[in-house]
Amino acid sequence: MKKLSLFASFLLLAGCQSVSRPPLVMATQVDLPRFMGDWYVIANIPTFIEDGAHNAVESYRLDADGTIATTFTFRADSFDGKLKRYTPRGFVMEDGGNAHWGMRFVWPFKSEYRIMYLNDEYAQTVIGRSKRDYVWIMARSPTLADSDYQKLVNLLAQEGYDIGKLQKVPQRW
């Protein structure tokens, strides 16, 4: 819980910095029931809690109250590492066609969570933040074709992310 509180405080403080950037590109419309389910984290600019993650999976469930029960699991530092599990709650924001969320790790703080890209099959997505500090490339399967991966990396570069910080997340199932 201490790590989680520290993480939430870090995201809150990071959100207080003012950097003038163009708006982050977002998916036009997200069909929430279709978006729900498991997403394998293919690559990210990690937060400190997920640095060294292996077999990272983010799972979403739409609850009756409209919030999104989220479970993020991974193995720490190796495929045999300690299983880590976090359960933030997502809140769809009024603007943004269901692509703009607040993600609450610790009450009352919500971090920004934007669905930047979602392919037509709902098989690949990119989640980012306006500050361009963290990002997650995710897919419905633990692997992604090199050409698809490069297309998403190019999108991140066009949006102002430092792709030199992007790390592939080891997946072995």
Q: Which domains does the chain have, with CATH numbers?
A: 2-16+26-168 (2.40.128.20)
Mean pLDDT by 10 residues, the chain (173 residues): 45 48 92 98 96 97 96 98 97 90 81 95 97 97 98 98 98 96
- Residues 126 and 114: their CA atoms lie apart, in Å, by 8
Question: Strand, coil or helix: what is 34?
Answer: helix
Q: What is the pLDDT of residue 74?
A: 98
Number of Cβ within 10 Å of residue 129's Cβ equals 21
Q: What residue type is assigned to position 9 of the chain?
A: S
CA angle 30, 33, 37 (to 5 degrees): 105
Q: What is the pLDDT of residue 5?
A: 44
Q: What is the pLDDT of residue 22?
A: 86
Q: What is the pLDDT of residue 19?
A: 54
Buried b (16+ CB within 10 A) or exposed e, 36-72: eeebbbbbbbbbebbebbbbbbbebeeeeeebbebeb
Q: What is the pLDDT of residue 146?
A: 98
Q: What is the dihedral of CA 26, 16, 161, 76, to 10 degrees?
A: -100
Q: What is the pLDDT of residue 82?
A: 98
